[in-house]
Chains A and B, each alone.
Chain A
Amino acid sequence: MEIHHPQNVAELCDIIAAAPQPLSVLGGGTRPIGQSSARCGLSTDLMSGIVTYEPGAMTLVAKSGTSVAEIEAALDLENQCLAFEPMDHRDLLGTQGIPTLGGIIAANVSGPRRIQVGAARDFTLGVSFVDGAGQLLKNGGRVMKNVTGYDLVKLLVGSWGTLGVLTEVSLKVLPKAETESTLRIATQGWEKAVECMSAVLRTPYDVSGVGTVLNVNGGKDVMIRIEGFVASVRYRVSQLTQRLVHFGDITEIESPWHEMRNLTAWKSMDTVWRVSLRPTNSLKLLKVLEASDIKLQYQMDWGGGLIWLGLDDENKQRAENTATLHAIIQEQLTALGGHATLMKSASLTDMLVPSFQPQTPTLNKLMVDLRHKFDPRGILNPGRMY
């Protein structure tokens, strides 16, 4: 596939304005989720660099092709971080490439701490982007209170390059926590695990992660992360331990959050879905899936609001069966109110299934009309999302 690598915004505008055919919009190409029908690529990887970073104001502005690693290194020097801790998809998806800022913003990639501080979307203060006509537009600014006009920032974050190609992003950053502690609670079964996660979130102890990890004791033990100043963490750990003791044995363990965020143990899965739903509905979904003959692996995050479903190599199915399972999962999510995204599938490679959760006709019409306004010729990532 031919891939354009514009060096600057002017080149990017020219390429889009002159594009005779659809473009597959990329950053580092590490998250090939959904299927773009475009046969020509457009990568922002050469448009890179931090434009301004003001640690005192906790804001950072960078070009979209800047690598996440470069940004994290710069923040590290000032003891700050991207609080939404974006997932690195390379382990899970087996991709090469370098993850870029544009990629995490376009896909709204957010990690376990989302439950405490919010998503990538909530940390994006402003964006510049080029629309489908090759016109450079901007919205938002470098401060939280920028209130005039419509907030296109929220719309662009998570639009997967279908509304415009990001050129520059301003972000709010936060100080790193002084210390971190993880409690593991050996709950018995999924019902208790979900109940325990909800109980944790009802406490006033401001936890920064609640989930489960595959490969640890059947994957049903609940992990809780507590971050902050040493004295505060000690206090909250002791309070949580007292309150949760009836759910099972509690031990303090080494941080599993890197593995939980990047799904490093999921490399060999044949098929993986990412399911987002109301935490209390997670059991209903599990009940339906357990009733089928196909054995799935589970990992929960966000207190049960995010479930990773995996079909491992041992249990992998013929393509038709995987496709049927995919349809069942998405139907369940429509009924329960949530969405399921197909992240990868080796057995489904040649079959065309909707990777993203199908929308209601009303929402779909709004989406199609909006896309037409931003990209009248339909050349930006057609087929990627819908």
Chain B
Amino acid sequence: MENQYSAGDLEIQMAIKDVFDPSWLLNPAKVFPLAVSQSRTAA
């Protein structure tokens, strides 16, 4: 995924998840590479 999308492209997709699921409770490990979503799921 990190090859297909730039950091900005991934960031805006994760921002959408932030709106629908602010605490990343729903399937936090799916869709996004774990390394990229780490800062959001750690909290």
Contact = CB atoms under 8 A, between A and B. Distances in A.
Interface of A: 131, 135-139, 148-150, 152, 155, 366, 369-370, 373-374
A259 to B, nearest CB: 40
A137 B16 contact: no
Nearest to B20: A366
Contact of B12 (A366, A369, A374): A374
Interface in B1-35: 1, 4-6, 8-10, 12-13, 15-20, 31-32
Contacts of A366: 19-20
B12 A152 contact: yes
A135 B8 contact: yes
Given A148-B1, A150-B31, A373 B16 contact: yes
A8 B12 CA distance: 23
Interface of B: 1, 4-6, 8-10, 12-13, 15-20, 31-32
Given A370-B19, A373-B19, A149 B12 contact: no
**Which DSSP category, helix, strand, loop or mixed, fits chain B's interface?**
helix
Nearest to A367: B19
B14 to A, nearest CB: 9
B19 A149 contact: no
Contacts of B19: 366, 369-370, 373
8 contacts: A137-B12, A138-B6, A149-B32, A150-B16, A366-B19, A366-B20, A370-B16, A373-B15
Given A369-B19, A370-B19, A150 B1 contact: no
A139 B1 CA distance: 12
Nearest to A129: B12
Nearest to B14: A150
B20 to A, nearest CB: 7
A374 B6 CA distance: 16
Contact of A138 (B1, B9, B18): B9
Contacts of A148: 1, 4
Contact of B31 (A131, A138, A149, A369): A149
Contacts of A370: 16, 19
A373 B18 contact: yes
Nearest to A371: B19
A71 B40 CA distance: 43
B1 A373 contact: no
Contacts of A131: 12
